[in-house]
Structure formats: C-alpha cells, structure tokens
Amino acid sequence: MIRTTHLLLSLLAAVPLTACSSLDFGKRTIGLEQAAAVLAEAEQALTAGDHAEALELLGDLLRVEGLPTSQRSRITKLFAAAAEKQIEVISASPDAAEELADFVNEELPREIAVSAGIASARSFSALGKAEDAWKILRRLDERFPLHHERATAGRLLMEAGLSLSYDERNWWIFWSARTEGRACLEYIVLNHPSQPRCDEAYKRLGEMYAEDNQRALAIERYEDLVLYHPESEFRADAQARIPMIRLELLDSPEYDRNGLLRALAELEDWVARFPTHSMGEVVLQSRLDCLRRLSASDLDIARFYEKIGNSEGKLYHAERAHELAQTAGDANLSASANEILTAMEPSDS
C-alpha cells in the first residue's frame, strides 16, 4: 500500500491529526526526551499484533515537535504500516463498516484513507446499508478526487445506486431510499462517466423519471445514454422510449405539431435502425398514434379555416389530414377529412 516514506511524511506533516473513536490520539503528551522510549513501545505493540495500541502511540508521537528527521520518518512509516494492518483486522469483522469509516474521517495519508473507505463501503453493502455505502464513497471522492481506487469506487457506487433505486423504504416525507438511489446514480453519471455500467445508470434514471412523470428529464437521460454510449446494449430501448415519452408530453387536444413531427421522425429512424428489435411492434404502434394525432391536428385546423371562410387553408389541411389518416389506417379520421373535401367539391366545380 505505502509507496514511499517521503510521501507519507509530507502528507502527515501537512495536516494535523485529530481525535476519533477508532484512532484515539492525544491521550497523553509526550516530551521530546520520551520519544525514543515511546517509539520502542509502539514497535513492541506492532510486533505483538496490537495495531490499535501502536496507532495510538505513534499518533501521539507524530504530535511531538522537534523530532529528528530520521526518527519522524521511522514513526511515519510505522504509523502507515499499523494503520494498514488495523484496517485489515477491522475489515474481517462483519460489523466493521462504521469503524472503517472513521479512518476516512481522520487526516490520514491518501492510500490508507482510501483503502479504509473502500473497505467500509464493502462492509456497508454486505450489511444491506447501501445508503451508507454511497455516502462514504462520496466522502472519499470529495476528499481525494483522483484517488487510485476510483474504478472500484465507481463499481460500488453503481451497486449501491441501483439497489437503492428499487428500494421502497421511506421515512415520512423526509427521506426515501429511492430518492437516495436517484441521487447516487446522478452522481455516477456526472463524476464517474467512465464507469463501465454508466449506461445502465442512465437507463435506470430514465426509467425513474418516467415513473415519476418527470418526462422531460426522462428524455434527457435517455438521450444522454444514446449520445455517450452508442454501442450500449440499452441503446435501442432508450432510443425507442424517447419519442414515446415525447408523445406522452403532448397528450392533449392542442398538440404541438413540431413535437409530433419530431417524434414521428425519431420513430421512423428507429424502425430503420432496428428492424428486428423486440420493441418493434410497440414502436410501430406509437408511430401510428403519432400519425393519427397529426391527422387530427390538421382536421382541427381545417375546421378553423372553415369557420373563418378561408377555403384555401381548409383544403390544404383537409387533404393533409386525409393523407395522414390513410397512412395510419384510421378509417374514422379518413372519413372526417373526406367529408370536408367532398363538401368543397360543388363550390370548386
């Protein structure tokens, strides 16, 4: 774990150590003249496997001012070794998560804190406490943005985020596991974009926003999946859902024609790209729905022009409504458009 004594010395010298439940430093004040004896005591504790005692003694020693460089270097090296061993010992316990998290709170060298944080997250996950795993991993990223275990952290974050996203636990209006899961997945796509399962995070976010009727956000996350992960196994499904959700956004009598046309173009593009996909039938049904809506929109416009006496506008939109209805295979819409067209024939003859 420890690369060089120089690195550890510089990290420990830069930031003062503070007290915490696992690393209870500061119980006694050690004078410069006592340093050698206490160091020997710490070495004996480390040899005997009492890593917690060694950590306490070495932590107190690191507070002593005026130590010779060689002695401080020795203390620092032993401190790192003791911390590493203590993390290994604690990690073996099924209830180690909280104690390991304390090491992340301490101003320890990067590699020790990161190892403790990863071990803590694993332990929390094993205990079914995905929300605590997600929080400790976020804290780890905040303290060490470019730490050496980012790939592992990303994988653990993904597991925690997905687990929470399907968790229905909640506490009144103040907390819900599902909301935590969504926050974790959003954190992943923003801070761990190279995580191998990031496409799955986008997929789940799209599903969650759609379930919560936050359709614009659902479309955004599905579009992100298609844009950033074009080779993903979830790409076809996401690309199909974009226009389908767009149609849900336009589910009113006053259709946004531009929105309908955009959805139609997206649906037809999907059919061309994925002709044998299992969602094909659903997509084709959405395409027909879109065509019917466009036909209905033209019918309404044709009737409006009829009211204001604009024959040219009425004819144009009635003809287009008839053509769209026939493409959609909708006999009722086709008959309504044809009725308008037929009524115009005598005046045009």
Sequence-ordered alpha helix ranges (H) in 144-279:
150-165, 177-191, 198-211, 215-228, 235-249, 257-273
* pLDDT for 16: 37
Which residue in the block uniquely carries the two structure tokens 């309908």?
A: 260
* DSSP bridge partners of 176: 170
CA distance 77 to 34: 19
Structure tokens at 242: 């974009």
Give mean pLDDT, residues 237-265.
90
* pLDDT for 345: 65
Give mean pLDDT, residues 111-115.
87
CA distance 73 to 141: 28
20 or 45, greater pLDDT = 45
Q: What is the pTM of this model?
A: 0.80
Give mean pLDDT, residues 56-85.
87
Give tens-digit pLDDT for 133-191. 999 999 999 999 889 999 999 999 999 999 999 999 998 878 899 999 999 999 999 99
Largest CA distance in the chain: 117
Percent of the chain surpassing pLDDT 70:
89
Of 124, 146, 225, which Cα lies nearest the Cα of 191? 146
Of 26-40, 78-92, 96-110, 301-315, where does the model show the most confidence?
Answer: 301-315
Which residue in the block uniquely carries the two structure tokens 């259709």?
A: 255
